[in-house]
Amino acid sequence: MSTASALERRPAKLTGREFYKSIGSPKYIVAPMVERSEFAWRMLTRSFMEKDQPQRLLAYSPMFHARLYKETEGHRAQCMQPIRHDDQSDTDVPYLDGNPAIDRPLFVQFCANDPNDFLEAARLAAPYCDAVDLNLGCPQGIARKGHYGAFLQEDWDLIYKLINKLHTELPVPVTAKFRIQETKEKTLEYAKMILSAGASIITVHGRRREQKGHNTGVADWSYIRYLRDNLPPETVIFANGNILGQGDIERCLEATGADGVMSAEGNLSDPTIFSKIPEVGQEGREYWRGRDGRGGYRMDAVFRRYMNIIHKYVLRNPVPERKPLFLPSDPVDNTNEQTETTQNGTQQNGDINGKRKAEDDGHEKAAEPPSKKQKRNKDTRVTDPNLTAMQGHLFQLLRSLVKEHTHIRDTLAKTRAGDIARFEQILSMVEDAVKQGILEYEKNPEAFDKKPQNAEELHGSKATIAEYSRPWWVCQPYIRPLPEEALAKGAMQVSKKDQRKAAEAAKATAHAVSEKIETAPSAIST
């Protein structure tokens, strides 16, 4: 399937709310994340949606660099794999990214600072997506250095040209994602400019550019509500920020009036965040619910689904046969599984704390001198975006579990991209750890009830942790300390810029007070 033929078959371009309706008016959106919202992760998130409503979930690609994307086919292959060559028909057929049968709706996001580069890259991606998005929100240092993302927000003329170029010349709609400005009024004017350039949908992250790392803080939904109340009703708005759990989605929609809610970090910690919670008694083997009624999807279940997707779609291999996930109601099995991990990290096959014995790869490979082995490993460097992202995904998904089981953390840390056998080993270790955790809970559930009795009196991140915390084998969000808490602990320092601002404000206040005293009438004693 050539780019030209795919473009020729496209219907007339829709924009704005008509376009939004044409893709199913999705309420749930997987955010664009650098090296994190790739095909396999999108498929994992989609797999937890109700089968009869696949269009309720919109997903974005990872952020790609427009200039690099348009320059070489090799770089594009490390970003997306939309087609593959079918030898039988001798034609290109849909493969992974943007495959109409499994990966739609999909927006592809680029960072850019040159309208021509942006258009060239967008034209290459357009046949395989529903829209192209401009990143105006990345706050990282690399974006400052490269002059893109949130560091374009002072250059309104350039932003207008970037969006308008695609609006007038690209066969699919253009959208934009940006952060709030210093005031609601300036944010509104910024949004109006972006919409006037031709953006069909705007995604508003309720944090300012400087809110990142330890200074991430809390997103301000009131800015998004202000835009909703002051922009035309046909404007499609997605809200982003503060989505830690499923309950936050409806709260955000109600508070902001947005059409949809986007999740980034919340989705990485829990890819089931958009899914429907099973009814009591309908949990099955994937969902765990405690005696207090609180629960979530089990990490071993989510990890297993992830591995199955890698096998089926990325490697195009049969999905391995697997025994059912453990339930306490299962018949007692006293047989030793070959790959079962004991609590101290030692396995039946000789693995100790995640370290495997040397595997017999054949006499020829074993006989190779070290230099030849090193060369072979170097030559077979994995570049598939779905495989290179696996380790990072699992560290975020399993964050609470590997804190309890450090041998799993150590094994994961040493696992190379593409080493599927090692990832399968880690899955077995996780399954056994979850089994042990559930058995311990059955014996002593009070030991896992982390909700403090004085939860109503807690403040800051402690209150948030009390609300969202679950036993370590359940998917749960990562709760960052608030900036003031990070300052108190010494994990963050006030920047020189903020110190200067504070000093100037204090000086101005002192000067104003001094002038007021000097001009005030003298007190007359009587």
Helix and strand numbers, DSSP H then E, in the chain: 23, 12
Is residue 252 part of the annotated active site? The answer reads: no
For the chain, the residue count is 526
Which one-letter amino acid corresponds to residue 449? Answer: D
Angle between helices 420-443 and 299-309 (to 10 degrees): 160
Cβ pair 466, 458 in contact under 8 A: yes
DSSP reduced 3-state for 50: coil
Please give the Cα distance from 250 to 4 (Å, whole number).
41
CA–CA distance from 430 to each of 311, 327, 433 (Å)? 18, 15, 5
Q: How does 213-247 read in b/e, with b if 16+ C-beta sit within 10 Å? A: ebbbbebbbebbbbbbeebeeebbbbbbbbbbbbe
For residues 482 and 461, give the distance between their C-alpha atoms in angstroms, rounded to a whole number: 6
Residue type for 144, please?
Answer: R
User: Apex CA 268: angle with CA 241 and CA 211, to 5°?
Assistant: 35
In 3D space, the residue among 213, 210, 263 whose CA is nearest the CA of residue 240 turns out to be 263
Tokens 């809390």, located at residue? 218
DSSP H helical segments within 414-454, as ranges? 420-443
Count Cα neighbours of 274 within 13 Å in the Cβ-side half-sphere: 30
Which run of H or E residues covers position 406?
helix 406-413
H or E segment at 108?
A: strand 106-111
Q: Is the dihedral of CA 483, 398, 263, 76 positive or negative?
A: positive
> 138 with 111: CB under 8 angstroms?
yes
Residue 313 vs residues 58, 93, 207, 282: alpha-carbon distances, Å: 19, 14, 36, 29
Cis before residue 445, ω within 30 degrees of 0?
Answer: no
The active-site residue out of 79, 111, 129, 138 is 138
How far apart are the C-alpha atoms of 104 and 56, rounded to whole Å?
Answer: 10
Q: What are phi and psi of 373, to 5 degrees?
A: -60, -45
- Catalytic positions, please? 138
